[in-house]
Amino acid sequence: MTEFQPRGRSDTIRVDLLVISDLIESGARVLDIGCGDGALLHYLAHNKDVDGRGIEISQAGVNACVRQGLSVVQGDADTDLRDYPDKAFDYVVLSQTLQATHSPREVLAELVRIGRHAIVSFPNFAYWRIRWQLLASGRMPETEALAAPWYETPNIHFCTIRDFVILCRDMGLRIEQRSFLTHEGKTGRFRSTGLWANFLGEQGLFVLRGP
Amino acid sequence: MSKPVPETVITHENTRQPAAVGGHSVVVGRDKPLRLDCGVTLAGVTIAYQTYGALNADCSNAILVAHALTGDQFPVRDGGDGKPGWWEVMVGPGRPLDTERYFVVCINVLGGCMGSTGPKEVNPGTGRPWGLDFPVITIADMVRAQAMVLDHLGIDQLFCVIGGSMGGMQVLQWAVSYPERVFAAVPIATAARHSAQNIAFHELGRQAVMADPAWNHGDYLNTGTNPRAGLAVARMAGHITYLSEAALRRKFGRKLQDRDALSYGFDADFQVESYLRHQGSTFVDRFDANSYLYITRAMDYFDIAAEYGGHLPAAFVGTRVRYCVISFTSDWLFPTPESRELVHALNAEAANVSFVEVETDKGHDAFLLDEPEFHETLTGFLNGAADRHGLGRP
């Protein structure tokens, strides 16, 4: 029978997930939406003793998570968040998933309803390399982080850091923290709609609260 | 109280010799009778069970395996007849339910026919087999009786309760009736309520039994007959629902049985017919027809939300149990949407739940078979839960 094997060393995870985990205090109740293979949940469970749950759309991802002993259900961010009660979690994490949802605005509203805080990270479409590719080649940009061609990408709702700030403002959400991640994995904070963050940031990372 | 039972201490112990089937047996409900959902009270109920592995010092490593409709208390059979148990792939050293780590208990359900009190046993009030005088039992009644056995074994809290199909119904009933006694629950290939289609199939089976003249209005044990034909047909119909079209096609297709051409008669021309007939005839050798009626009825009555105004999440309010819900893609008896409904209800209570749908073409029976993805997932869940429960990692 397959033995329980923690996946690699628990301190080696993607840099954006590491940044997210730093935002979460020990022992918190966390829901990771679009948890993939469970890397963040696994890290949080072993390093921060969180009470973690996950939702993942791909069955293969779910099975991989449950095999590691993580509590994960197969589900869709667009349709299945409405099941959860208000403020059921301290943190609801939506990492690199917002751009793949059908209704990002509704999903954001659910995040801040379910969680006391929502942590959202997404690829910034105004990142300078993307701007440059579009300007220079006139074709849909493909980067390391966004590798699929336009006709195959699951990402249907791209936005920029500036777009996201404006949407939060429109929805009356409180932005508790706004930061960006560079290609090299450095993070920086910014104010307002972040003119430079919107240029330098490969990803935007926000902590939100409901209105 | 349609059928009052004498409130005396009834010794069912000798009505059947436990040695004949092996395993253990205990009389429960002597001091505090078993109060059934139908209103009848049973004082002194024999329950047959089997255990595997050893209970640890703080009694925290017990797993209750709940068997399905036609199962018994022997997921692993250690009798000398060479017949394998029904869950050998799951229970044993190094298996997902590792008997070197866990103390595994499996209990023949109330109403069963493998040593537990049921319609086949002697009614102490009359000295004759109960037959149809046996009170109608429910899944909740089965679980009440199981809880009494655990009291007897000194187990306050189960590390895990696990089962497929009707076993899964018992798992859910455990989590709802005794949430403080369950740390983790694994309902497999099951549903929060028995569907209309499934009730219909059960009714088909029951009518087949009752249409057999040898059934004798349920009194066949007193008249020396046995509704073999009726029970065999019930089993054949049931068996079809446990498989899938893909599994039947792969296994049999339209292949003929021991012949090169159609017989233009009603013999078992096709292999699938021969297989079903075999399933039917071997089943009647080991199962009691009235037990089949009672247990199918218990499944039909199962609706865990009924007590909660039909609102499923209300059954799980504040639940602290860790759930792992498992379904199989080709299971059309308990299809994945029924598991998903359960998961939605658990999410509505922000319960700790995992949900896995396993890809297989083996139908409902997949939960009994060697499905590596299923077993790996289950092992992972149990390891994670064991870690949380202070049982350590393997």
Task: Please indicate, yes or no, whether residues B264 and B378 belong to a single structural domain of this protein.
Answer: no
Q: How far apart are the first and last CA of chain A?
A: 50
Q: Which single residue is written with the structure tokens 């629950």?
A: B185
B235 & B311 share domain: no
Mean pLDDT of chain B: 93
> Is B89 within the bounds of a domain?
yes
B218: containing domain:
198-297
Predicted confidence at residue B281, as pLDDT, reads 95
For the annotated catalytic residues of B, the residue numbers are 165, 331, 364
The rounded Cα A147 to chain-centroid distance in angstroms is 17
How long is chain B? 394
Model pLDDT, residue B80: 64
Q: Inform me whether the C-beta atom of residue B254 falls under 8 Å from chain A C-beta atoms.
A: no
Residues A192-206, mean pLDDT to the nearest whole number: 92
Whether residue A147 lies within 8 A of chain B, CB to CB, comes out as no
Structural tokens at position A160: 């920029």
Q: Of the residues B297, B324, B355, which one is the last residue of a structural domain?
A: B297
Confirm or reject contact between B317 and chain A (CB < 8 A): no
Q: B182-188 and B45-52: which strand pairing?
A: unpaired
pLDDT digits (tens, 9 = 90+) for B222-242: 999 999 999 999 999 999 999
ipTM: 0.87
pLDDT per residue over B318-331, tens digit each? 999 999 999 999 99
Residue B82 Ramachandran class (φ > 0 left, ψ -120 to 50 alpha, else beta): left
> Which residues in chain A have Cβ-Cβ distances shorter than 8 Å to B379?
1-4, 67
With CB atoms and an 8 Å threshold, state whether A69 touches B94.
Answer: no
Sort out which chain A residues have CB atoms less than 8 A from B356's CB and list them.
59, 62-63, 66, 74
Instruction: Say yes or no: B383 contacts chain A, CB-CB below 8 A.
Output: yes
Residue B8 lies in a domain: no
Paired tokens of B50: 């089997």
Q: How far apart are CA B291 and CA B47, in angstroms?
A: 15
Same domain, yes or no: B236 and B369: no
Q: Are residues B281 and B137 in the same domain?
A: no
Query: Is the pLDDT confidence value at A3 over 50?
Result: no
Query: Which among A1, A3, A66 has the least Cβ separation from residue B381?
Result: A66
Pair (B222, B336) in one structural domain:
no
pLDDT tens string B158-213 = 999 999 999 999 999 999 999 999 999 999 999 999 999 999 999 999 999 999 99
Residue A79: C-alpha distances to residues B72, B151, B344 (Å): 41, 43, 11
- The C-alpha atoms of residue B86 and residue B201 are separated, in whole angstroms, by 23
Is the domain of B152 the same as that of B58?
Answer: yes
Cβ of residue B278 closer than 8 Å to a chain A Cβ = no
On whether any CB of chain A is under 8 Å from the CB of B356, the answer is yes
* Same domain, residue pair B228 and B358: no
Point out the domain boundary residue: B279, B297, B315.
B297
B95 touches chain A (CB under 8 A): yes
Of A4, A59, A84, the CB nearest to B347: A84
Domain range summary for chain A, segments of one domain joined by +: 15-125+158-209
Contact B394 A4 (CB under 8 A): yes
Tokens 């197969």 correspond to: A74
Please, which residues bridge with residue B184 across strands?
Answer: B160, B322
* pTM to 2 decimal places: 0.91
Q: What is the pLDDT of residue A211?
A: 85
Interface of A with B in 83-122 (CB under 8 A): 83-85, 88-89
**Residue holding tokens 């805080």?**
A117
**Per-residue pLDDT tens over the stretch B82-122:** 789 999 999 999 999 999 999 999 999 999 999 999 999 99
Residue in B177, B170, B175, B163 with CA at minimum distance from that of residue B138:
B170
What single letter denotes the amino acid at residue B85?
A: G
Nearest to A34 by CA among A17, A50, A22: A17
Provide, as residue numbers in chain A, all residues whose Cβ is less than 8 Å from the Cβ of B354. 62, 65-66, 70-73
The per-residue pLDDT for B329 is 96
Interface test with B, best of A67, A89, A92 (most B CBs within 10 A): A67
- 3-state SS track over A113-162: HHEEEEEEEEEECCCHHHHHHHHHHCCCCCCCCCCCCCCCCCCCCCECHH
Q: Is residue B3 part of a domain?
A: no
Domain boundary (B267, B297, B327) is at B297
Confidence check: pLDDT of A159 > 90:
yes
From CA B329, how far away is CA A59, in angstroms rounded?
11
Which residues of chain B are within 8 Å of residue A69 when distances are taken between CB atoms?
A: 380-381, 383-385, 387
Cross-chain Cβ contact B347/A89 below 8 Å: no
Q: Specify whether B225 is located in the same domain as B337.
A: no
Q: Which of the four pLDDT bands, split at 50, 70 and 90, describes residue B12?
A: very low
CB B120 within 8 A of CB B227: no
| B370 CA: distance to closest CA in chain A (Å) | 11
Of B344, B355, B380, the CB nearest to A4: B380
Q: What is the pLDDT of residues B123-171, one digit of tens each?
A: 998 999 999 999 999 999 999 999 999 999 999 999 999 999 999 999 9
d(CA B232, CA B347): 42
Average pLDDT over residues A29-49: 95
Q: Provide, as residue numbers in chain B, all residues whose Cβ is less than 8 Å from the Cβ of A89.
A: 350
Q: How confident is the model at residue B384 (pLDDT cuts 50, 70, 90)?
A: very high
Please report the pLDDT score of residue A126 as a whole number.
Answer: 96
Name chain A contacts of B375, Cβ cutoff 8 Å.
Answer: 1-2
In DSSP terms, A50 is beta-bridged to none
Please give the residue that has the higher pLDDT: either B144 or A4: B144
What pLDDT does B11 receive? 36
| Chains A & B: contacts with CB separation below 8 Å | 86
Cβ <8 Å between B376 and A69: no
The whole-number pLDDT of residue B393 equals 78
Residues of B in contact with A80 (CB under 8 A): 344, 347
B81 located within any domain: yes
pLDDT of residue A1: 32
In sequence order, what are the residues at sequence separation of 6 or more whose Cβ sits closer than 8 angstroms to the Cβ of residue B200?
A: none
Q: Does residue B5 lie within any of the structural domains?
A: no
CATH of residue B264: 1.10.1740.110
Shortest distance, CA B73 to any CA of chain A (angstroms): 24
B250 and B338 together in one domain = no
Residue B107 sits at φ, ψ, to 5 deg, of: -120, 130
Mean pLDDT of A142-168: 91
- In the block, residue with structure tokens 């809880």: B147
What pLDDT, on a 0 to 100 scale, did the predictor assign at position A9? 37
Which pLDDT does position B5 carry in this prediction? Answer: 35
Q: Are residues B151 and B184 in the same domain?
A: yes
Residue A147's pLDDT is: 83
pLDDT at A36: 93
Q: How many CA atoms lie within 13 A of B179 on its CB side?
A: 11
Domain shared by B373 and B231, yes or no: no
Is pLDDT above 60 for A104? yes
Position B6 confidence tier, pLDDT thresholds 50, 70, 90: very low
Closest-CA distance of chain A to residue B343, Å:
8
Alpha-carbon span B93 to B75, nearest angstrom? 13
Residues B288 and B178 in one domain: no
Q: Tally the domains of chain B.
A: 2
How much is the pLDDT for B79? 64
CATH of the domain at B321: 3.40.50.1820
The answer to whether residue B308 scores a pLDDT higher than 80 is yes
pLDDT at A144 (0 to 100): 76
Q: For the ranges B9-13, B216-220, B302-306, which has the lowest average pLDDT?
A: B9-13
* CATH architecture assignment, domain A15-125+158-209: 3-Layer(aba) Sandwich (3.40)
Using alpha carbons, select from A57, A139, A63, A38 the residue that is nearest to residue A97: A57
